[in-house]
Amino acid sequence: MKEDGSPPVRLLVVDDHTLFRRGLVALLAGDQTLAVAGEASDAGEAVRQAAALQPDVILLDNHLPGVTGIQALPGLKEAAPRARIILLTVSEDEQDLQAALRGGAHGYLLKTIEGDLLAQAVHRAMRGEPVISHELTGKLVSAFQTSAAPLPAPAERDPLAQLSSREHQVLEQIALGASNKEIARTLQIAETTVKIHVQHILRKLDLTSRVQAAVFAAGAVKAHGEPRP
């Protein structure tokens, strides 16, 4: 149980390697804010377990026998619509990253992640924040730029010009991978205020999620050095 008395985050762990899966389950069991509700070794079993258990978060390997984790995303989302799905994989392939995010995954983490950081990522996903391994940030920007619509001509209005100074600061922090709580601490404002700024940023930039905002911001940093002040 969490410190605030709320129930732990219920997890479904999906991985075909029994040794890794059991080790991961044992690791997660050491965190009282998390609870492993079930395990699965392939996509079919994962969909059945997701439908029966309705977990909060699904930790999903991509390299499963038969149907891959990415291919299983539609079925898992249908079976457990409220679940946050995080790919936990060894693949650093840009196409896998892009396909996972397009398929509706809420995060993409490498199996090299430390246990405490994985627990933090689970809680961040529950708050609707993007969880992408830092090693993949450059590939995330590249994947988004490849799939995004062509950039407007220089003469057209710069979408960043719509943001206020404070929204620029929040967007810059999002590009650095900061959570709402970390942004609030850095900018010395309330966390609820940060959430409002994020909503305004998404609306003004015509984005639908923090993942897209993080990619957009990272792209701005890559192109201009930092988001415009």
Q: pLDDT tens, 29-53? A: 889 999 999 999 999 999 999 999 9
Give the domains, in start order, of the chain with CATH numbers.
9-143 (3.40.50.2300), 155-224 (1.10.10.10)
Among the listed residues 44, 79, 73, the one whose alpha carbon sits nearest the alpha carbon of residue 60: 73
- pLDDT tens for each residue of 153-190: 444 456 677 888 888 888 888 877 778 888 899 999 98
Q: Is 79 helix (H, G, I), strand (E, B) or coil?
A: helix
State residue 149's pLDDT score: 47
**Mean predicted lDDT score pLDDT of the chain:** 83
Contacts 24+ apart (CB under 8 A), 27-33: 27/115, 27/118, 28/115, 28/118, 28/119, 30/115, 31/119, 32/1, 32/2, 32/8, 33/1, 33/2, 33/8, 33/9, 33/119, 33/123
Angle at 133 between CA 68 and CA 79, to 5 degrees: 40
Check if the beta carbon of residue 41 is closer than 8 Å to that of residue 66. Answer: no
Tokens, residue 214: 């993080």
Tokens, residue 89: 């994989």
- pLDDT tens for each residue of 133-146: 877 776 666 655 55
* pLDDT(152) > 70: no
What average pLDDT score do residues 81-92 get? 93
The structure's pTM equals: 0.66
